[in-house]
């Protein structure tokens, strides 16, 4: 295995499986993005359309139940609906983990995690999010990994999951036909500017946030169809000035909002913010400034063509030369550990208890699936994941992983397969001197080089 292949596997993927090789060139890494298009997605377990149909059935059943029952029978019936959705959601969580463990297209998987975190939603927001969080990643994020940023932005912003999570579905124009008990909600407008496009401190004002919130009124969710709709009776009438441009002349459909999103996607602040975030995620907390500058230039020249921006990052001479330096986040760590041990990803779907156990480990380490702490997503810096509690917890989980999945790998071979040229002499010596096989395999997974990407 070449050093470039080893770096490629951990920096742009979820690490190596036994007997697997990783691309050693930017072209090879980028090819994984195209290969992923033919992969069968393991989640949602029922399939996208089936989940939408179940969402409609759930809404109708809950509505009818509330009309026909009361007291304890009502509470019991609602509890049954909630428990069924919760179990299906747990299965989807396990399948989401299995997807990254099983996939041979690590770069696509890492990009899916990056964008799902960038456009964070959480299943905890309300009961319906157990249906919509898996759907959000499956139909709003993954199909748009290799397209234009504007398309990805619109797909994520207008998805029911985002409308639920940021309370947009409750936002009503104060001068609209439905003005009354509910008023304007600024969450969506603020996060759109601060987190999803331009970035904090990039020059927009509170007035821009409020004007954006007015423009977004009308966006809501039709529960009868489980889809986003534009309800002009909720929409604030008039025109709105955002970042020195006027929107809202036509307020009877979603077109003005899409125009606004297209404009946000093409702004130079968006190119800077997201190029820098991509480089920090994949390369280093302090990425080379010339690499980021090139990514911004490519973004500007191509109008936010994401594959071109990825290529600008991958083709930088430092991308496959710099030693790994970012700390693996818990999801990366657990998935790469399972891959190193040759675990069959499908086993986490077939064996529910096994999948639930891996999901529990991610909770213990602070990064449960589809459950970020805020719209900002999970913390990304080393300081958040390298402290006494984190390191102690990671060693405990490493032992549990080895105990459950360790099988019978030769520890020295495991270290060579998982790390290749990145394996240090210190770890090689410690593994050889370990008192038993379990201790030796745990040492591999707990080693400093295995925890970096």
List pLDDT tens digits, range 107-135. 999 999 999 999 999 999 999 999 999 99
pLDDT at 251 over 80: no
Distances (CA, A) of 81 to 58, 84, 89, 128, 366: 7, 5, 12, 11, 28
- Long-range own/partner contacts, residues 387-395 (CB < 8 A, 24 or more apart): 390/365, 390/366, 393/364, 393/365, 394/330, 394/333, 394/365, 394/446, 394/451, 395/442, 395/446
pLDDT at 408 over 80: no
Confidence category of residue 253, pLDDT binned at 50, 70, 90: confident
Residue bearing tokens 């919509």? 132
pLDDT in tens, 70-112: 999 999 999 999 999 999 999 999 999 999 999 999 999 999 9
Residues shown for the chain? 453
pLDDT at 18 over 70: yes
Q: Per-residue pLDDT averaged across 332-358, rounded?
A: 97
pLDDT in tens, 137-159: 999 999 999 999 999 999 999 99
pLDDT at 250 over 80: no
- Please answer whether residues 272 and 199 qualify as being in contact, where contact means their C-beta atoms are separated by less than 8 angstroms: yes
pLDDT at 252 over 80: no
Mean pLDDT for all residues in the chain: 95
Q: What is the pLDDT of residue 381?
A: 84
Q: HSE on the CB side for 395, CA within 13 Å?
A: 11
Confidence category of residue 249, pLDDT binned at 50, 70, 90: confident
Q: What is the pLDDT of residue 309?
A: 98
pLDDT in tens, 31-68: 999 999 999 999 999 999 999 999 999 999 999 999 99
- Torsion angle, alpha carbons of 6, 405, 135, 30, to 10: 10
Q: What is the pLDDT of residue 305?
A: 98
């Amino acid at each position: 295995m070449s050093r470039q292949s080893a770096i490629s596997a951990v920096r742009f993927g979820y690490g190596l499986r036994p007997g697997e090789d990783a691309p050693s060139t930017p072209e090879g890494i980028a090819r994984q993005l195209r290969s992923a298009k033919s992969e069968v997605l393991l989640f949602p377990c029922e399939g996208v359309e089936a989940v939408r149909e179940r969402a409609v059935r759930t809404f109708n059943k809950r509505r009818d139940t509330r009309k026909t029952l009361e007291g304890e029978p009502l509470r019991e019936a609602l509890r049954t609906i909630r428990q069924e959705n919760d179990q299906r959601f747990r299965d989807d969580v396990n399948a989401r983990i299995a997807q990254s463990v099983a996939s041979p297209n690590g770069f696509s998987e890492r990009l899916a995690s990056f964008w799902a975190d960038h456009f964070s939603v959480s299943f905890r927001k309300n009961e319906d999010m157990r249906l919509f969080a898996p759907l959000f990643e499956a139909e709003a994020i993954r199909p748009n990994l290799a397209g234009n940023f504007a398309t990805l932005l619109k797909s994520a912003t207008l998805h029911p999951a985002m409308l639920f999570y940021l309370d947009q579905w409750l936002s009503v124009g104060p001068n609209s036909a439905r003005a009354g008990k509910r008023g304007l909600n600024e969450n969506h407008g603020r996060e759109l500017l601060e987190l999803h496009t331009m970035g904090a401190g990039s020059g927009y004002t509170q007035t821009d946030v409020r004007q954006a919130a007015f423009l977004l009124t009308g966006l809501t969710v039709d529960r009868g169809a489980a889809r986003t709709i534009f309800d002009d009776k909720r929409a604030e009438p008039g025109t709105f000035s955002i970042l020195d441009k006027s929107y809202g002349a036509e307020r009877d459909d979603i077109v003005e909002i899409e125009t606004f999103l297209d404009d946000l996607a093409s702004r130079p602040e968006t190119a800077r913010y997201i190029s820098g975030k991509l480089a920090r995620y994949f390369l280093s907390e302090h990425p080379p400034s010339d690499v980021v500058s090139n990514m911004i230039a490519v973004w500007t020249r191509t109008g936010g063509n994401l594959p071109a921006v990825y290529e600008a990052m991958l083709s930088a001479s430092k991308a496959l030369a710099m030693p790994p330096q970012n700390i693996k986040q818990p999801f990366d760590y657990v998935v790469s550990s399972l891959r190193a041990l040759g675990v069959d990803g499908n086993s986490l779907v077939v064996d529910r208890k096994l999948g639930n156990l891996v999901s529990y480990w991610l909770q213990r380490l602070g990064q449960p699936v589809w459950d970020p702490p805020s719209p900002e997503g999970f913390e990304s810096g080393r300081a958040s994941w390298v402290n006494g509690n984190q390191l102690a917890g990671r060693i405990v989980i490493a032992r549990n992983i080895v105990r459950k999945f360790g099988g019978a790998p030769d520890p020295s071979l495991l270290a060579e397969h998982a790390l290749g040229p990145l394996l240090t002499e210190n770890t090689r010596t410690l593994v050889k001197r370990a008192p038993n096989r379990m201790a030796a395999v745990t040492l591999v997974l707990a080693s400093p080089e295995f925890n970096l990407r």
